[in-house]
Structure formats: structure tokens, C-alpha cells
């Protein structure tokens, strides 16, 4: 994943309201902007601003259905972010495993150092 795109995904997810919107769309499927506004008890302009950030990161898409806007979660950016996190977790697990093996090596007996 492009580092700038990854930055925009994590930036978009930095807001509790936006994470809540993503969770709602992931669990409940597509929703209308008005429904999301009521769910979060914030104004339509405020929810639209949050949706704009999510849309800019590619996490959400909006489509017109008559005079209403329907929001839908796009899974690809979340999948790519999860893959990046898995790679980071693997790196740190391997690094900590190497450190543990190193620390568990038998220490040389006292008085048996190369400096003596």
C-alpha cells in the first residue's frame, strides 16, 4: 500500500465518530447519511464532513438514491491497512523472539571471560 494512502486511512480512523461510522457500516451494511447523523446525534453538515474524510481515504463511498445519499463501506483500504499491521506484528514478534533466544543463551562462567 502506498504510504500516503496508508497515512490517509489511519488519519481518517483517528476520530471516534469516523471509527463508529466504519463499524456501523461494517456490521449493518449500507446506510443513509441521515440515519448515520441520527445514530451519532450530530448535525447533517458534521456527519457529511466526517464522511468526506472517510471518502477521501477511500473507506466509504456515497451514491445518490433520489434525494438521499447512501453510504457504503469499501473494504479494500481496511484490508490493506490490516495487512500492513500484520507485517509490523510479524516483524516485532520475530525481533522479540530473537531477543529472547539471545537472553536465554547460557552465560559464560565467572572468571572465564576473554579479558582475563
94: in domain:
no
Identify the burial level of 18 via C-beta atoms within 10 angstroms of its C-beta, where 0-12 means exposed, 13-18 middle and 19 or more buried: buried
Q: Which residues contact 55 (CB under 8 A, 6 or more apart)?
A: 61, 62
Written as tens digits, the pLDDT of the chain (116 aa) is: 688 889 999 999 999 999 999 999 999 999 999 999 988 888 999 999 999 999 999 999 999 988 989 999 999 998 998 898 899 899 888 889 888 888 888 666 676 555 55
49: in domain:
yes
- The parent domain of residue 43 ranges over 3-76
- Per DSSP, helices labelled H in 13-43 are 16-28, 33-40
Query: What's the CATH number where 59 sits?
Result: 1.10.10.10
Considering its fold, how many domains does the chain have in total? 1
110: in domain:
no
Alpha-carbon distance 39 to 81, whole Å? Answer: 26
* pTM attached to this predicted model: 0.75
Amino acid at each position: 500500500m502506498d504510504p500516503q494512502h496508508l497515512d490517509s486511512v489511519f488519519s481518517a480512523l483517528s476520530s471516534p465518530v469516523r471509527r463508529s461510522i466504519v463499524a456501523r457500516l461494517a456490521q449493518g451494511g449500507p446506510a443513509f447519511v441521515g440515519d448515520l447523523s441520527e445514530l451519532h446525534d450530530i448535525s447533517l453538515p458534521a456527519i457529511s464532513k466526517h464522511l468526506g474524510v472517510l471518502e477521501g481515504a477511500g473507506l466509504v463511498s456515497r451514491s445518490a438514491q433520489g434525494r438521499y445519499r447512501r453510504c457504503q463501506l469499501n473494504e479494500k483500504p481496511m484490508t490493506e491497512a490490516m495487512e500492513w499491521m500484520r507485517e509490523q506484528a510479524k516483524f516485532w514478534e520475530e525481533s522479540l523472539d530473537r531477543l529472547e533466544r539471545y537472553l536465554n543463551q547460557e552465560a559464560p562462567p565467572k572468571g572465564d571471560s576473554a579479558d582475563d
